[in-house]
Structure 1
C-alpha cells in the first residue's frame, strides 16, 4: 500500500464510520450483507473507486458494530428486575463516602434461576457498607440494573454515547442479599498490578495529594484526585498528562531503544545474531506495550502503540515508513478494531494533534536547540490547532495551555514518571533506594502542581464559548491548517479570519418583552434557566451527591456557557432540599456578583436572602412576581418553596418548586386573569401536589415535569398524570424529553420546542 493510498484509505474509512454516527437510527441488519458485493465489485473492477469501497466498508463495519453494541445492552424487560450475576471487577474501584463504584465484566446472569442474555460490562454502585473491593476479583452479586441512560442538556456530556464507546451494557446497584460473596481473584490481571503500584506509592509518599498525583501520572490511577484537581488540569490543558498520554508511551519506547543499545554495547556479539536496528525497534515495541498495559490501554496509548508497531514492522522488514503513513495505518488499525472509537474525544485530539505536528513542524536538524524549538513550537501548534476540537467536545479551552504544557510535558514525561516507576522498581532491586527516588518524584510533582494552581488563576485559563456549530468547527480547523503552513505560503495570517465564526458566534437572545426558559434535565431534581433580552435568572440548581458529583457543575454551568451567558442576574433556590439546592454553591461561586434568594435561607450553606410573596420586578418588559411563601412562613419545608411567576403580554410561566396541595389554593388565587400559563408541575408530580382544584384554577396550556428516569419515588405519579389528562393538559417530562426549551414571544402564544433528546437524535440514545 503506497503512501498516498494508505492516507486515502484511512480518510475514506474514517468518513464512512462518521456517516453512521450521525444517523438517528441504524439501518436494518438485512441491508448490511447487500453492501458486500458492491464493495467487492468496486475494489476489484474499478481501481479509481477504491476510496469509495473503503468508505462503504467503513459505513457497513460501523453500522454492524453499533448494532451489536446496542443489541448487547440489557433487554428492556429486565430493567428493574433482580439479577444474580457472576463477574469480575474490570477496573480500579472508586471508593466514595456514599458508595463504592466499579465496572463488572459479566460472565453469567440469571433471573429467578433462569439464564438471561447479558454479557459485557456493567457499571455498579454498592451502597451501605460495601466490603473491600479489589481489581480483578470475582463476585456473585444480586444486581438491579437498567439500560445506560444519561441526562441530556445543552453543553453537557453525553453519557449514553460514552457508554456505547466504552462497551457499557447496563448500569445499576448491588441489592442487599446474604448470597453476595467473593469468588476469589483472577491471576495475571493488569489492573491488579496497577493497583499494587498505586498502593506502593501511597504507602511510601507521606503527602496524600502528592501520592495521588504520582499514582495518576505513573499508572493512570485517578481515584485520589479531587474535583478541584481536575479543574486545575482543565484550566491548564494538561488533563491528557493525568490520564497517561501517548507521549508517555513514546518515552517508554525510547527507553526500550536505549535499553537495546546498552545491551549491544555490553555484548557486541549480539550483532552477529540480530542486527541492532531491528532489535532496537523490537525493544521499543515491547517496552511500549508493557507500559500501555500498565496504563490500562487507553485510546491515546493504543494509538501511539499502533504507530510504534507500524514503524517496528517496517524496520524489521527493512522498509521505509513515513510519519503520515504510520499515522494513517494506525488509524486504519483502530477503526478496524473498534469503529466506535470515533465517539471518544481522545480519538480526535490524538490524531488531529499528531497530524498537525507532522504537517506544520519542519525538522531543524538535531541537537538541543532543535529539540527546544520543536518542543516550544509544538505546544503552540497543539494549542491553536486543537482549540476548535476542545471547544466542540468540552465547551471550554485554556489560553495558558501552551505555556502550561511547555512546563508540564517534559517534567512529567522525563522526570516524574521515570522516577515514580523507577522507585517502584527499586523496591525489588534495592529497597533502600526506593524511598529517596519516590521522595524526589513527589517533590517534583508537588512543585509542578503548585505552579499549575497559580496559572489556573490567570486570565484566559477558563475560556468558554457558546455551542460550536459543525460548520464553524470545520472553518476553524482549516484556518489552523492555513495558519501553520510552511514558510513561503502567502497570506498565512488570513487563517485567523476562519476562526471568527468559532470565536464570535451569532447569539440568539429574546427581543424586548419576550423571554425564554430551559427546564434542564437534572434527573430527580429541578433547575430552570430564564432569559430575557439582557438578563438571566437561574431557578434551582439540581443536586449534589456525597461522591462529589454536582449537577450545578455538570449541567447548570455548561448549559449557561452553551447558551452564551456571561453574567447571571439572579439565583433563586426554591427551598433547601438537596435535589433543588445542592448545586447552588457551584453556581454562586461562578457568578459571585449575582443576588441570591431562597425559600429557606437557613438551610442553605451559603448566604441567601429570603424570598417573600409580593416581591416583584421587571426586566426588559418581562414581569416577575413571587407568589409564595408569605411573610413569616419560611419554616414549612416544601411549602416554603419560592413560587415565581414570569409573564409577558402573551404568556406566563409558573415555577412552583415543591409546594403541596395545602398551599396550592392561595398560589392559584394570586395568579389572577391573564394570558396562557405554562406550569412547572409541583413537586415533580408527587401525589401530594397538583390537586384537581389547582389544575382547574390555573388552567395550564402545557405542564412540564422535572423528574429522574425510573426514579425510586415513582414520580410523576399515575394519579397525578390522570388528573392532568382529565383536564386536557399535555404533560412533558424531562426524563423522557431531556432538557425542554420554552419560548414566550411578544405577540404569540407560548410554544414548547422539541426536547433535547428529540432535537439531536442519535442511534445510541434511548
Structure 2
C-alpha cells in the first residue's frame, strides 16, 4: 500500500487561492465563528483522508479569507462617528503628496477622541489638508482635528472600486483636517519612508528638469507623486505602468547587483572561499539587496512576489536543494496568501502571479546563452501581452495593442540601463553625495529619451483599445484560450485557442430596438451625468465636475462608462448649464469623442466652444424623439433656470432631464412637456428644496424619479421636504448616492423602468 503524497507547492497555492478568491464574490461575510469549523475539518480530513487534502485546503483558504476580511471590516470607522469632528494622534505612513490645492497623506492612528473621550478608531486613515498645509515630514507624528467618513466610492459601469481598494489597503476612514489650534507636529521620526523622501529630494536636486526627475523617482523608488494624468495615459497606452510602479524585474536587477558584489568580493579575496561557500553567499546577498530595494520601493505587490521567490531560491541554495520554477512560484503564492489573503483584491496580485506563471509555462525550454535571453525577452513580451489581455481588460477596461512592442523596447532599457544607473546614483547619494549628481543626471537624460519615444508610440493606432465590460465567463474562456495557445509543443491545434478569445473581444451586444432607448444616470457624486442610447446613436447629458486637484469626473467616470457600455461613438454632448458640477467634465468627454456635436444652456460660460441650446430644437434617432423644452429665447432669472431641459420620447414612454431648474422655471417646462406619458424624471437640482414643487410633480406625474447627489453632501440634497413631496405623490425616488448608477430601459412596448442599480447589481461584502 502506497502512502498518499502531499500536494506540491503549486497545487497547494492554487487550492488556497481558489478558496480565498471564492470569498471575494460574497455579498456578506459569514460570521468569523464559522471560519474555525473549516479549520477543524481541514485538520481532520488531512489526517484521515490524505487524498482529499486539496479540497480541504480550498476550505482552509476560504476560512482564512473570511476571518481576515472580518478583521479588516472591523477596522472601519464606526458609523456613529461619521461627519463628526475627532481629535486623532498618529504617524504619517508613506510619502505625503503635496499639490497646489491640498496635501494628501495616510495617517496611522493610535489614539482618537471625541470631546475628550476616547473612541474606537485605530488604523490607517487617508486625509487631505487644505488651505496652506504645513510641511509634512515622512514618519512624523501629529495631533490633528479631523472630520471623517467610512470609505465610500462612486459605482458606475467601468469605474474603479475605491471601497475594494480601501479594504485591501486597510483604510479605516477618509476625510480632511479641520482648521483648529490643536493641529500640531508632535515629533519627527525615523523610518524607511524618511530615507525614501531623502533620496527623492536628492534626485530632484540633481536633475534640473522636474519631469525627468519625476520619472527617475518613479523608476527607481516607486515615487509617483510627480507624475500627472497625462503621464499615466502614456504609460497605459504603451502597456508599461508596471515599470513605473516598480516591477518585479527591477527587484531582480537589484538581486543581481547583490550577486555581482559578492562575486567581486570573492574575486578580490579568493581565500574567502575557504571560510564561506560562494553560492550560499551569493543567494544571501541577492536576498539582502532585493529586500533593501523592496523597502525603498514601498513594497508593492510585484515587489513582494519577487522578494518571496528570491527568498525561496536563496533558502534552497543555502540548504543545497534543487527547486523548480513552479515550486518557487507556488511557495511564494502560499506565503502571500497566508500573510495577506486580501491581496487578491488588487489587480497587481493577479497580473503579477498569472504573468509569471505563463512565462514559466511557455518559456521553460528556451535556448541557453545570449540567444536564449533574446528569445525570452522577445517571446516573453508577446506571451505577457496576449496572456494578460483578459485580466487587463477585466480590471482596467482597456488594453494596448502596441504593448508587446513598447515593452520589448522599454523593459530592457529601463531595467538594464536606467534602473542600474539610478541605483548607483541612489547608493552614491547615501555614501558620497557629491559624486551622485552626474550619475543621476545621466539617469534623467536616459529617462527623458525613453519617455519621448513612449509619448510618440502612445499616438499610434491601437495604443488605447477599449472593450465593453468583461463578463466573468468571457474572462475565464479567454484565459483558457491563452493557456491552449501558449501550451508546450505537442498539444494539437493550439491555434484554436484564439477562438476562446471571441467572447472577450466580440461580446454579444444588446442595443435598444427601434423606438426604444436605454439611459444610465451615472453616479458622479454631487453633480449630474446621464448617458442615453438608442439603437445606433448616443448622447451624454452633463459630465460631472472637475476639481482643483485635477480630478475630473468626465475622465474618471463618464468616459470609462461609455467604453464599458460598448459606446464607441458619441453623437451629442449636451451640458445643461455652466456650473462646475454639470460642466466640469465636459472637456474630457469632448476630447475622447471629438466628433460629437456640442450644445449647452450657457455656451458663453462653458470651458469649451458649444452651440446654444434653445427651446424648440428637436430631432429623431431610431424612432425616438428628442426635444429641447428650455431655455426659451426670453428666459431670465437665476442661472440655474437657463438649464437645457431635454425630453426623450420613445414608443413606450419618456425620460425628462431637467438640469438645475428651480420652481420658477418648472411651470414653463411642465407646459412644454406635452401629453401625459409614462415618465422617468431626473429630479431637478439634485433635490434642492427650491425645486420639485408639488404642482410640477403633479403635472409631470412621473412613475419614477432619480436624484443625482453626493453621499453626505454639504448641501443636504435631496432635501427632506423634497423627499416627502415625492413620497406623498406616490413616486418612488432612487438616489445615486445610495444606489450607484441607475440603468433605465424603455422598450417600444413597455414603460421605462429600472433595469439595474450598480450598488445592488453586483453586491460585495466590502461595499457600504
Q: TM-score range by the shorter chain?
A: over 0.9
Q: In structure 1, what is the Cα distance between the partners aligned to 2:6 and 2:193?
A: 38
Is 2:152 aligned against 1:149?
yes
Q: Please report how far the alpha carbon of residue 649 of structure 1 lies from its aligned counterpart in structure 2 after TM superposition.
A: 2.5
Task: Report if the CA contact (8 A) 1:573-1:597 is conserved.
Answer: yes
Q: Please report how far the alpha carbon of residue 33 of structure 1 lies from its aligned counterpart in structure 2 after TM superposition.
A: 2.1
Task: Report if the CA contact (8 A) 1:96-1:546 is conserved.
Answer: no
Q: Please report how far the alpha carbon of residue 418 of structure 1 lies from its aligned counterpart in structure 2 after TM superposition.
A: 1.7
Task: Report if the CA contact (8 A) 2:522-2:531 is conserved.
Answer: yes
Partner SS state of residue 95, structure 2: coil
Task: Report if the CA contact (8 A) 1:3-1:325 is conserved.
Answer: no
Q: In structure 2, what is the Cα distance between the partners aligned to 1:519 and 1:220?
A: 37
**Structure-2 change in CA distance of 1:137 and 1:259 (3 Å):** same
Q: Please report how far the alpha carbon of residue 674 of structure 1 lies from its aligned counterpart in structure 2 after TM superposition.
A: 3.0
Q: In structure 2, what is the Cα distance between the partners aligned to 1:218 and 1:510?
A: 50
Q: In structure 2, what is the Cα distance between the partners aligned to 1:427 and 1:107?
A: 34
Aligned twin of 2:179: 176
Q: Tell me whether 406-415 or 609-618 shows the greater mean CA deviation.
A: 406-415
For 1:423-468, what per-residue CA distance to the aligned partner results, in whole angstroms no more than 9, with x for missing partners?
Answer: 2322454445322211211111101101000000001000000011
Aligned twin of 2:112: 109
Q: In structure 1, what is the Cα distance between the partners aligned to 2:637 and 2:671?
A: 22
Q: In structure 2, what is the Cα distance between the partners aligned to 1:430 and 1:95?
A: 29
Aligned twin of 1:39: 42
Partner SS state of residue 90, structure 2: strand
Alignment of 1:46-61 (within 5 A): 46-61=49-64
Q: Please report how far the alpha carbon of residue 91 of structure 1 lies from its aligned counterpart in structure 2 after TM superposition.
A: 1.4
Task: Report if the CA contact (8 A) 2:199-2:429 is conserved.
Answer: no
Q: In structure 1, what is the Cα distance between the partners aligned to 2:421 and 2:12?
A: 41
For 1:714-747, what per-residue CA distance to the aligned partner results, in whole angstroms no more than 9, with x for missing partners?
Answer: 1001111111111111110000000000011111
Is 2:510 aligned against 1:508?
yes
Aligned twin of 2:394: 392
Q: Please report how far the alpha carbon of residue 490 of structure 1 lies from its aligned counterpart in structure 2 after TM superposition.
A: 2.1
Task: Report if the CA contact (8 A) 2:87-2:113 is conserved.
Answer: yes
Q: Please report how far the alpha carbon of residue 748 of structure 1 lies from its aligned counterpart in structure 2 after TM superposition.
A: 1.1
Alignment of 1:715-734 (within 5 A): 715-734=717-736
Aligned twin of 1:133: 136
Aligned twin of 2:744: 742
Is 2:196 aligned against 1:194?
yes
Aligned twin of 1:578: 580
Aligned twin of 1:673: 675
Aligned twin of 2:536: 534
Aligned twin of 1:348: 350
Q: Please report how far the alpha carbon of residue 632 of structure 1 lies from its aligned counterpart in structure 2 after TM superposition.
A: 4.7
Aligned twin of 2:484: 482
Q: 2:686 aligns with which of 684, 687, 707?
A: 684
Q: Please report how far the alpha carbon of residue 327 of structure 1 lies from its aligned counterpart in structure 2 after TM superposition.
A: 0.2
Alignment of 1:375-414 (within 5 A): 375-414=377-416
User: For the aligned residues, what is the CA RMSD?
Assistant: 1.3
Q: Please report how far the alpha carbon of residue 556 of structure 1 lies from its aligned counterpart in structure 2 after TM superposition.
A: 0.5
Task: Report if the CA contact (8 A) 1:145-1:170 is conserved.
Answer: yes
For 1:517-538, what per-residue CA distance to the aligned partner results, in whole angstroms no more than 9, with x for missing partners?
Answer: 0000000000000000010000
Aligned twin of 2:261: 259
Q: In structure 1, what is the Cα distance between the partners aligned to 2:261 and 2:305?
A: 23
Alignment of 1:588-599 (within 5 A): 588-599=590-601
**Structure-2 change in CA distance of 1:275 and 1:688 (3 Å):** same
Q: In structure 1, what is the Cα distance between the partners aligned to 2:71 and 2:469?
A: 31
Q: Please report how far the alpha carbon of residue 2 of structure 1 lies from its aligned counterpart in structure 2 after TM superposition.
A: 7.7
Aligned twin of 1:374: 376
Aligned twin of 1:18: 21
How many residues end up aligned between the 2 structures? 765
Q: In structure 2, what is the Cα distance between the partners aligned to 1:102 and 1:635?
A: 43
Alignment of 1:93-492 (within 5 A): 93-187=96-190, 189-492=191-494
Q: In structure 1, what is the Cα distance between the partners aligned to 2:429 and 2:19?
A: 50
Task: Give the alignment's TM-score, normalised by structure 1.
Answer: 0.98
Partner SS state of residue 518, structure 1: strand
Q: In structure 2, what is the Cα distance between the partners aligned to 1:514 and 1:431?
A: 69
Q: In structure 2, what is the Cα distance between the partners aligned to 1:96 and 1:338?
A: 32
Task: Report if the CA contact (8 A) 1:649-1:675 is conserved.
Answer: no
**Structure-2 change in CA distance of 1:11 and 1:657 (3 Å):** same
Q: Please report how far the alpha carbon of residue 120 of structure 1 lies from its aligned counterpart in structure 2 after TM superposition.
A: 1.0
Q: In structure 1, what is the Cα distance between the partners aligned to 2:427 and 2:212?
A: 19
Q: In structure 2, what is the Cα distance between the partners aligned to 1:130 and 1:688?
A: 37
Q: In structure 1, what is the Cα distance between the partners aligned to 2:636 and 2:307?
A: 62
Q: In structure 1, what is the Cα distance between the partners aligned to 2:289 and 2:277?
A: 19
Q: In structure 2, what is the Cα distance between the partners aligned to 1:199 and 1:635?
A: 54
Is 2:85 aligned against 1:88?
no
Structure 1: which 4+ aligned runs deviate by more than 4 Å? 1-4, 428-432
Q: Please report how far the alpha carbon of residue 485 of structure 1 lies from its aligned counterpart in structure 2 after TM superposition.
A: 1.7
Q: In structure 2, what is the Cα distance between the partners aligned to 1:765 and 1:639?
A: 37
Task: Report if the CA contact (8 A) 1:600-1:634 is conserved.
Answer: no
Task: Give the alignment's TM-score, normalised by structure 2.
Answer: 0.98
Q: In structure 2, what is the Cα distance between the partners aligned to 1:302 and 1:72?
A: 24
Q: In structure 2, what is the Cα distance between the partners aligned to 1:545 and 1:429?
A: 43
**Structure-2 change in CA distance of 1:541 and 1:281 (3 Å):** same
